[in-house]
Structure 1
Amino acid sequence: MTDRTALIDRLDRALRPRAARVQSALASPVRNARMTVVVGRLLAIAFLICFATGLYSHFLQSPVGWFVAPARPEYLYAWTQGAHVIVGSMLVPLLLAKLWVVYPRLFQWPPVSGPVSVLERASVGVLVATALVLPMTGILNVLQWYPWEFSFRRTHFALAWALMGALLLHIAVQLPKIRRHWREGGESDE
């Protein structure tokens, strides 16, 4: 046995029981795949509303040749921006709920089980980071407080695209579980 294999085995023996104790301590009947899918569905809808209304706003403020904004109803921009701000603000408690439900997965053992698992964890990292930064910078924009050096509009727009990509990848990876737990009659949690 090589030194590296021996080290990995010792780490596994030391950390596996600890990870199991942490997961046991965090166990809750509400922390299950069904609740993850329910909160995730609400988050996905909210993100799509924010993305669509944000695109509309962006193309009005930075016109492109192929986009012709509708002239009627006159208050469309106000409605879309109101929806963007309200739904964007609602993302904060939804995100906290989703993170609370999936938090024990942070302590699964082994943390990664192969290259696909590494990519899944990395995409979830991008998803969580952008999902937290976007609503917080949006709220600070509503307050007109800019404690950063970068352009809010350009960065918010770019992060929205990164979030949508990470969200689509996350949904694709989790699709079998989502399908199983979409309705009440889904199988029990693994």
Structure 2
Amino acid sequence: MTAAPAAFLDRDGVLIEDCGYPHRPEDLKLTPGAAAAVRRMNRGGYRTVIVTNQSGVARGLFTEERMHAFNALLIEALAEQGAVIDAVYACPFHADAVEARYRHPDHPDRKPNPGMLLRAIAEHHLDPARSFIIGDQPTDLEAGRRAGVKGYLFAGGDLDAFVHDTVDL
């Protein structure tokens, strides 16, 4: 079986507007062109994988269950527009966690560390050499670099136009 290429996507600031620790249904606002961009990647044969740091869990702002429910809501909102997300990896760990179980000085999954990408590559038989990550922070691109994945920095605007103009699908 040939490994598939993947489009790794940061969540807050890339797929959805970053309103500061989004976790409630009313916080779910897709960025312009998000669904069209994911559809474009789906049509291009890319597996789409969300990789997101979620320190709001560690900081006690919301529960891990709320985070999973919000991610499910995002997947559903994209699916309603014909855009398929294949997997979600979220890191609730942070060095300053208020709850001990989420406290870690440098968790392997927390970007810029590549843990989420490496797990996705292994679990979904993905080809890092043909994959890329789109993030809105240098830490996203650093995680990609450490996983052997090309990175693109998204500064906002229309995500589909960015993918069309920047990424060679």
**Considering only CA atoms, is the larger Rg found in Structure 1 or Structure 2?**
1
Name whichever structure is richer in helix by fraction: 1
TM-score, normalisation: structure 2:
0.27
Answer 1 or 2: which has greater strand percent. 2
Give the alignment's TM-score, normalised by structure 1: 0.25
